[in-house]
Amino acid sequence: MTTRLGRGQCGAHLTLLFTVDDLAAELEEQGSIGAGLCIEDGTEAIAKGEGGESSLVVSFLGEGCISTMYEEVLEVLCSEIPEAGELAWELSIRVRLPVSQGFGMSASGAIAAAIAFQRALGIPHEECLRRAFLVAHIVERRRSSGLGDTTALAAGGVERRLVAGSPYCGPRLENGPGNSEGWTLNTPVLLSWKAETGVHTSQYIDDPRWKDRITGAGEEQMGKLSVGVWNQSRWSELIEASRCFAEASGLSADASRSALLSTVSRAITTANLSEVVCPLLCMLGESVVIVPRNAESDGKFFDRLSGELEVAGLSTFRSRVGPLV
């Protein structure tokens, strides 16, 4: 019997500010409004399907992940495309960034896998992409592993999410309740994080006290960012809004994140880059994204800064804001 092969790829997403909108009965209507950065590097998935009893074997290249999430991706996909449940699947996952560190890697992995399965089945590109966002959004909400990452990644670039919910839904995969938009200059960024695994997102978004603080802070900043045209003229405004959100929500006051920001700030000062770059917390990990204050910067200074951060005991990874979808 013919072997079916498919490949999927999806960048990561860095949430800078957000709300928790999880009260709707339908998972497709849950999510968040907010803003963040979609970056080039994320997850690659290769799916191989052959005739036989329905099954899935997942293997990982690089950072270890949890196979149960990919099992849920296939389960949800089978409810949309029954043919997907008639094959024995092997799925190879390669991730470029650590999980549970605020890089949206669960959404990235779910989208990449959903694309790979569908491409192996011969689903046309646009239909494949839209369904992948829907499937990933449902899996994210089922697992409380994310809120608005899939909606953000459906826009790409420097994104703002104006309405909570999945970007696509329904039998024809028309626009869903979620609404997002983006712009990009492929701005270089530098990620930095602690070696320890971060706190799982659900420990914040499922906690009533944190939900109230986060949502109040997010709504305040989105009241400003949601108004007007969304383009590169808003870059400095996004940076300031992100800093205000981190403080008002109480997330930057967490001892571990506060220590991380202090370490990063010292490295920036040592590298003489205080007027050139700004560190922003990635929600909800123990990580930062260091962005140039000028969105058109070439980022050549990141080599120097990366060295200082690594001397301070932090891991680093250079990427850039990705294209629009």
Q: Which domain holds residue 76?
A: 1-325
The gap between the terminal CA atoms of the chain, to the nearest Å, is 35
pLDDT reported for residue 284: 87
pLDDT reported for residue 221: 98
- The yes-or-no verdict on residue 223 having pLDDT over 60 is yes
Residue 75, CA distances (Å) to 12, 64, 72, 79, 108 in order: 23, 21, 5, 7, 17
pLDDT reported for residue 59: 96
pLDDT reported for residue 204: 81
- Extract the runs of DSSP E, i.e. beta strands, from 209-265: none
CA distance 289 to 295: 14
Give the model's confidence band at 104: pLDDT under 50 very low, under 70 low, under 90 confident, else very high. Answer: very high
Quote the pTM value.
0.96
The Cβ of residue 48 has, within 10 Å, a number of other Cβ atoms equal to 17
- The yes-or-no verdict on residue 198 having pLDDT over 90 is no
CATH number at residue 135: 3.30.230.10
DSSP string, 130-197: HHHHHHHHHHHHHHTS-SSHHHHHTTBSEEEEEE-S-SEETTTTEE-S-EEEEE----EEEEEE-SS-
pLDDT reported for residue 52: 86
CA distance 228 to 22: 26
Residues facing 58 on adjacent strands:
91
- The yes-or-no verdict on residue 197 having pLDDT over 60 is no
Instruction: Give residue-wise pLDDT tens across range 253-307.
Output: 988 899 999 999 999 999 999 999 999 999 988 999 999 999 999 999 999 999 9
Return mean pLDDT, the chain.
Answer: 95
Instruction: Give residue-wise pLDDT tens across range 147-187.
Output: 999 999 999 999 999 999 999 999 999 989 999 999 999 99
Instruction: Give residue-wise pLDDT tens across range 13-31.
Output: 999 999 999 999 999 999 9
Instruction: Give residue-wise pLDDT tens across range 125-155.
Output: 999 999 999 999 999 999 999 999 999 999 9
Domain tally, the chain? 1
Report how far Cα 176 is from the mean position of its chain's Cα atoms: 19
